[in-house]
Amino acid sequence: MTQTFNEMIDGGSVRAAYQSLEKWQNEMPADLRQMKQSEAEALFRRVGITFAVYGEGGDPERLIPFDMFPRVFTADEWRKLDRGIRQRAAALNAFLADVYDQREIIRAGRIPEHLVTHNEAFERAVVGIRPPRNVWSHIVGIDLVRTGPDQFYVLEDNCRTPSGVSYMLQNREIMMRMFPHLFVENRIAPVDGYADALRHTLASVAPKKCDGEPNVVILTPGHFNSAYYEHSFLADLMGVELVEGQDLFVDGDFCWMRTTEGPKKVDVIYRRIDDAFLDPLCFRADSMLGVPGLMNVYRSGGVTICSAPGAGVADDKAIYTFVPEMIRFYLGEAPILENVPTWQCAIPDQCKYVLENLGDLVVKEVHGSGGYGMLVGPKADKSQIEAFRAKIEEKPWNYIAQPTLSLSACPTFVEEGVAPRHVDLRPYCLVGDKIELVPGGLTRVALNEGSLVVNSSQGGGVKDTWVLAE
């Protein structure tokens, strides 16, 4: 791996964006830092910011680790990211609209047909449907990593139900409460407009049959879901109802919500459940989480589902490799943000290279998430590498591989003081009558020294993300 890029230190000097934070860090005694860290944890616990880790014994609810040292982007750095993220979100939506209709990109030979039609996230039930404004993915989470002063790479796209935005908002709220002087001394772009922007985005894609102000709801699987806190948090911020499948029913051409004052028509459903569970009459018959008949209402234009069923085909890790081609094909533009170089094990020559270089690569399941189902070659022992080799040889189409990038490092509070730890970034791009994103995102940090895995389920934490105003 190449040398790690330190986002704060440049050749022994502190970069301009971090100079005020260096002073803040140096003037904070260890006992005050410990007190503030405890205060942050108490605040997180008080508002119930936990996440669930499935498959573990005992109480799986955990407090997500929060690091008080912010990550900082300059206005110029963010300007490039903002343009690149909007461009990518537009291309991904154009791709979804195309593959569920004319499939021009396939007919042009730019993407192999089998990668789309044989993909488990491809939903034949929505072929031919044109959702309002032809938007399929309304909240796009783009995972980014940095390797140098001007080198940013897209690690993956999340077009279904990207989670974590509640942490972005709460990280900022807690930092402003604990260190208000930092926000007086620094001009930091706000993120608290996200909820209003999300509400506007959802309302802007209301179906044509909607009369008056759209009734928006968030559909959750329930309190056992790992992201339930976020579902309830966003519902509160937007002032909309949080519902479960049993709270909704279909009658005629519309979807209705049960209330104490009688049925109320629902126009837009921000769903936080997987396609398979949305409607037992269309997808999994054993689903207890969805609404029987919902897809018939969706097809007839009686309700909008955000993001649209079938959107997951765009964030498949095999499809990911073709996003730069989508940008050229649909937008006629050069990609602003680069992909990480990727080998597809479904292609024999590329699979051969991967198998010969497992110790140097990161290998991921095509549909994997959360840091699971992956091999970090340089960190793995021989037995782990050989076990993964067998998996790839058995199901090569199920894996892709990438070089082990040297993720940038950001100063992080650790037991001995401050030390660099690897980070990534997930901004949230909203797509409706316009494409917009708040300046910032969720920075995830690998708290264990040397670790490249930032997922909270794998021991990672979160940071506030600052974008300095012009």
Residue-wise pLDDT tens digits, 67-92: 999 999 999 999 999 999 999 999 99
Please tell me the distance from the alpha carbon of residue 386 to that of residue 469, in angstroms, as a whole number: 49
Task: Give yes or no for residue 470 having a pLDDT over 80.
Answer: no
At 372, the pLDDT band (50, 70, 90 cuts) reads low
**293 confidence band (pLDDT: 50, 70, 90):** very high
What per-residue confidence (pLDDT) applies to 263?
A: 97
For the residues 355-360, what does the mean pLDDT come to?
A: 93
Q: How far apart are CA 352 and CA 335, in angstroms?
A: 29
* Cα pseudo-dihedral 118, 121, 127, 130, rounded to 10: -150
Q: Is residue 53 a contact partner of residue 309, using CB atoms and an 8 Å limit?
A: no
Of 175, 143, 167, nearest to 50 (Cα)?
167
pLDDT interval class at 58 (50, 70, 90) = very low
Asked if residues 317 and 339 have their Cβ atoms less than 8 Å apart, the reply is: no
Of all residues in the chain, the percent with pLDDT exceeding 70 is 95
Q: Which of 105, 96, 100 is nearest to 140 (CA)?
A: 96
| pLDDT in the model for residue 448 | 86
pLDDT in tens, 387-425: 999 999 999 988 999 998 889 999 999 888 899 999 999
Mean pLDDT of 17-26: 93
CA atoms of 209 and 299, how far apart (whole Å): 12
**Taking residues 102-127, what's their average pLDDT?**
95
Q: Which of 223-227, 367-371, 417-421 has the lowest average pLDDT?
A: 367-371
Please give the helix or strand (H or E) that residue 326 lies within, else none.
helix 323-326
Average pLDDT over the chain reads 92
Q: Work out the pLDDT band at 59, boundaries 50, 70, 90.
A: very low
Task: Give the pLDDT confidence score for residue 369 in this predicted structure.
Answer: 60
What is residue 359's predicted lDDT score, i.e. its pLDDT?
92
Helices 165-178 and 30-46: crossing angle in degrees, nearest 10, is 130
Query: How far, in Å, CA of 465 to CA of 453, rounded?
Result: 18
pLDDT at 456 over 80: no
**Share of the chain residues as helix, strand and coil, in percent rounded to the nearest 5:** 35, 25, 40
Amino acid identity, residue 100? Y
Tokens of 198: 């999300």
Q: Work out the number of other CB atoms within 10 angstroms of the CB of residue 452.
A: 19
Q: In whole angstroms, give the CA distance from residue 332 to residue 163.
A: 31
Which residues 6+ apart lie within 8 Å of 230 measured at CB? 163, 164, 165, 166, 167, 272
248 falls in which pLDDT band (50, 70, 90)? very high
pLDDT at res. 457: 64
For the cut 60, the answer to whether the pLDDT of residue 52 exceeds it is: no
pLDDT at 303 over 80: yes
What pLDDT score does 57 carry? 46
- Mean per-residue pLDDT, 363-379: 78
Domains and CATH numbers, the chain: 9-207+303-339+405-467 (no CATH), 343-403 (3.30.1490.270)
Per-residue pLDDT at 56 exceeds 50: no
User: Is the pLDDT score of 12 beyond 90?
Assistant: no
What SS3 class is residue 398?
Answer: helix
Joined together, the tokens standing for residue 226 give 């790992």
Considering only 194-198, 230-234, 265-269, 457-461, which range has the smallest mean pLDDT? 457-461
What confidence score (pLDDT) does residue 367 get?
Answer: 73
Radius of gyration of the chain (CA): 22
HSE, side-chain direction, 13 A CA sphere, residue 388: 28
Residue 398 phi, psi (nearest 5): -90, 5
**Helix (H/G/I), strand (E/B), else coil: 452:** coil
Asked if the model's pLDDT at residue 4 lies above 80, the reply is yes
287 is written with which tokens?
A: 């689903």
Position 60 pLDDT exceeds 60 = no
pLDDT for the residue numbered 371: 58
Average pLDDT over residues 242-255: 97
Q: Average pLDDT of 158-185?
A: 95
Compute the average pLDDT of residues 422-434: 97
Residue 111 has pLDDT above 90, yes or no: yes
Closest CA to 299 of 126, 136, 134: 126
Please state the rounded mean pLDDT for residues 1-20.
89
**Contacting residues for 425 by C-beta, under 8 A, at least 6 apart:** 71, 143, 144, 145, 146, 441, 442, 443, 444, 465
Beta carbons of 427 and 198 less than 8 angstroms apart = no
